[in-house]
Amino acid sequence: MKQYHVAILGATGAVGMQMLEVLLERNFPLASLHLLASKRSAGKVITMKGQSFTVEEACDNSFEGIDIVLGAAENDIAKRFIPYAVKSGAVVIDNSSAYRLDEDVPLIIPEVNPEAIHEHHGIIANPNCATIIALVALQPLHAQAKIKRMIVSTYQAVSGAGVNGIKELDTQIDALRTDQPVDIQTFQHQIAFNLIPQIGGFDEAGYSSEEMKMQNEGRKILKQPNLQVNCTCVRVPVYRSHSESITVEFEQPLNVETARELIQNGCGVKLVDDPNNCVYPMPLDTSDQDLVYVGRIREDLSGHTNALSLWCCGDQVRKGAATNAVQIAQLLIEQE
């Protein structure tokens, strides 16, 4: 089997570290693996699954001889270095939002639109975590009845804001337990024992940037420019795994039992739907694994025809980011 020279850009962050773990878990055919980060992290040794890697400072010539780059850096870093990676001949799978809506960059969820892999010109974008979780959950139903409209509320874990989000929840809980002042740095308000109905900045219509990603990315991935999406995104004091409440209207009829059967046999999803016995998806159960759990499937009672409501949960650091990127890389080498 051919082996590949791989680099992770932004390797020391939460998603970058998870990318490293997933690559090793999946026995990705590595000829070499380079962990690229800022100058202050250079020289740090990271040990995972019995292997040690030394972090290198990311610079313009870091990508010479690299076949695949997994991007786990913020937008500004992605825009700074990805052109150099592509110029060096690498294919970049980028987790930032810098290129997601670029017409020349495919936006891929392997369970949903793997065929888009053929459209890349050196850059492939990884969708937003909440978009990935929603569309993986809905894909078996979409394939049967075609999605027309979505009403979504997301309940997003603090790890969606990276390592600093996790630290902030920890420090605030500790401060409140000892009657100390609460320090607010990462989120707009105290997150401990609270909900914050804002992720990203607001536009003139009152929707946040995170909320618009569900519509804009969903339209691109499903190739449905008229897909109707209304989304509300909420940050919740949960460490890991995003949860989503979705009401979805289809073009064709789809009843509850058929939907359950489709989810049961779907790719990347797990049916967890026995509410009479208190069995439904929860963040605690979906963390540290790669399936999206789907349950609470029921008919919509608001008067819309061909509509169902459901609840889903998925680990946004893994399937919502790192694992999806590695799956794209696996898809890429399979196509070769």
Which pLDDT belongs to residue 1?
80
Q: Which position among 233, 242, 312, 313 bears the catalytic label?
A: 242
Sheet holding 45-48, edge to edge: 45-48, 51-57, 30-37, 4-9, 68-71, 91-94, 123-125
**Cα distances (Å, whole numbers) of residue 174 to 105, 193, 335:** 44, 12, 50
CATH 3.40.50.720 residue ranges of the chain are 4-127+321-335
| Res 304: pLDDT | 83
Parts of the chain belonging to CATH 3.30.360.10: 131-316
User: ∠ CA 41-332-216 to the nearest 5 degrees?
Assistant: 80
Calpha distance 179→314 (Å, rounded): 34
Kind of pairing, strands 45-48 and 4-9?
A: unpaired
The whole-angstrom separation of Cα 269 and Cα 211 is 23
| Phi–psi pair at 176, nearest 5 degrees | -70, -35
Active site residue 129: yes
Q: Rounded CA gap, 317 and 94, in Å?
A: 14
Could you report how far apart the first and last alpha carbons of the chain are, in Å? 11
The model's pLDDT over 79-116, given as tens digits with 9 standing for 90+, comes to 999 999 999 999 999 999 999 999 999 999 999 999 99
Q: The CATH number of 4-127+321-335 is which of 3.50.30.30, 3.40.50.720, 1.10.357.10, 3.40.50.2300?
A: 3.40.50.720
Q: How confident is the model at residue 167 (pLDDT cuts 50, 70, 90)?
A: very high
The average pLDDT across 126-131 equals: 98
Q: What is the pLDDT of residue 335?
A: 85
Query: What rounded mean pLDDT belongs to the chain?
Result: 96
How big is the chain by its Cα radius of gyration, in Å?
A: 20
Q: Is the pLDDT of residue 187 over 90?
A: yes
- DSSP H or E segment with residue 132: helix 129-145
The pLDDT assigned to 163 comes to: 87
The answer to whether 59 is a known catalytic residue is no
Q: At what angle do helices 129-145 and 256-264 cross, to 10 degrees?
A: 120
Taking domain 131-316, whether its CATH number is 1.20.272.10 is answered by no
* Catalytic, out of 34, 120, 129, 231: 129
Which token pair is 272?
């967890």
Give me the mean pLDDT over the 191-196 stretch.
Answer: 98
pLDDT at residue 127 in the model: 98
pLDDT of 336 above 80: no
pLDDT in tens, 202-222: 999 999 999 999 999 999 999
Q: Closest Cα partner for 21 from 240, 318, 331, 328?
A: 318
Task: Tell me the one-letter amino acid at 327.
Answer: Q
Alpha helices, H only, the chain: 14-25, 75-87, 129-145, 163-177, 209-222, 256-264, 283-286, 323-335
Residues 188, 198: contact at Cβ < 8 Å?
yes
Average pLDDT over residues 8-24: 96
Positive or negative: CA dihedral 253, 259, 265, 267? positive
Question: Is-contact 72 66, C-beta < 8 A?
Answer: no
Q: Could you read off the pLDDT of 273-324 as tens digits, one per residue?
A: 999 999 999 999 999 999 999 999 999 998 888 999 999 999 999 999 999 9
CA atoms of 161 and 144, how far apart (whole Å): 35
- The predicted pLDDT at position 171 comes to 98
